[in-house]
A and B are shown apart, each in its own frame.
Chain A
Amino acid sequence: MADFDFNVIWSSLPFLWQGLQLSLWLTFLSIIGGIVLGTLLALARLSGILPLSLIAATYVNLIRSVPLILVIFWFYFLVPLVLGRPIGSFYSALIAFVLFEAAYYSEIMRAGIQSVKRGQIHAGQSTGLNYWQIQRYVVLPQAFRNMIPILVTQGIILFQDTSLVFVVSLRDFMTASSIVARTEGRLVEMYLFAAVVYFVICFSGSMLVRSLKSRMST
Chain B
Amino acid sequence: MISIENISKWYGDFRVLSNCTTSVRKGEVVVVCGPSGSGKSTLIKCVNGLEPVQEGKITVDGDEVTAKRANLTALRSRIGMVFQHFELYPHMSVLENLCLAQEKVLGRGRKEAVVRAEKLLTRVGMEDHAKKYPSQLSGGQQQRIAIARSLAMDPIAMLFDEPTSALDPEMIKEVLDVMIELAQEGMTMMVVTHEMGFARKVADRVIFMDEGAIVEDRPTNDFFDNPESERAEDFLSKILGH
Contacts and interface: CB of A to CB of B under 8 A. Distances in A.
Contacts of B146: 123
A71 B34 CA distance: 60
Contacts of A133: 104-105
A129 B50 contact: no
B164 interface: no
B95 to A, nearest CB: 14
A145 B104 CA distance: 22
Given A119-B83, A137-B104, A138-B89, A127 B50 contact: no
A136 B227 CA distance: 48
Contact of A119 (B87, B91, B153): B87
A125 B87 contact: no
B87 A120 contact: yes
A126 interface: yes
Given A137-B104, A141-B91, A126 B80 contact: yes
B162 to A, nearest CB: 12
Given A129-B105, A133-B104, A122 B73 contact: no
A132 B207 CA distance: 36
A142 B90 contact: yes
B192 interface: no
Contacts of B83: 119, 122-123
A129 B74 CA distance: 9
A142 B146 CA distance: 18
Contact of B91 (A123, A124, A127, A145): A145
Given A119-B87, A141-B91, A127 B105 contact: yes
A128 B77 contact: yes
B50 A126 contact: yes
A137 B100 contact: yes
Nearest to B83: A119
Contacts of B104: 129, 133, 137
Interface residues of B, number: 29
B50 A122 contact: yes
Indicate the member of A117, A120, A127, A138 with the most B CB atoms within 10 Å.
A127
Nearest to A128: B77
Nearest to A136: B104
Interface string A144-176: 010000000000000000000000000000000
Name B's interface SS: mixed
A141 to B, nearest CB: 5
Indicate the member of A120, A128, A130, A145 with the most B CB atoms within 10 Å.
A128
Contact of B153 (A120, A128, A138): A128
B149 interface: yes
Contacts of A130: 73
B188 interface: no
A216 B85 CA distance: 21
Contacts of B91: 141-142, 145
B150 interface: yes
B76 interface: yes
Contacts of B85: 119
A127 B77 contact: yes
B101 interface: yes
Indicate the member of B50, B74, B80, B88 with the most A CB atoms within 10 Å.
B50
Given A122-B81, A123-B88, 11 more contacts: A123-B89, A125-B76, A126-B48, A128-B76, A129-B100, A129-B104, A133-B105, A137-B89, A138-B89, A141-B91, A145-B91
18 contacts: A119-B83, A120-B87, A122-B45, A122-B81, A122-B87, A123-B81, A123-B83, A123-B88, A126-B76, A126-B79, A126-B150, A127-B77, A127-B100, A127-B153, A128-B76, A129-B101, A133-B105, A138-B89
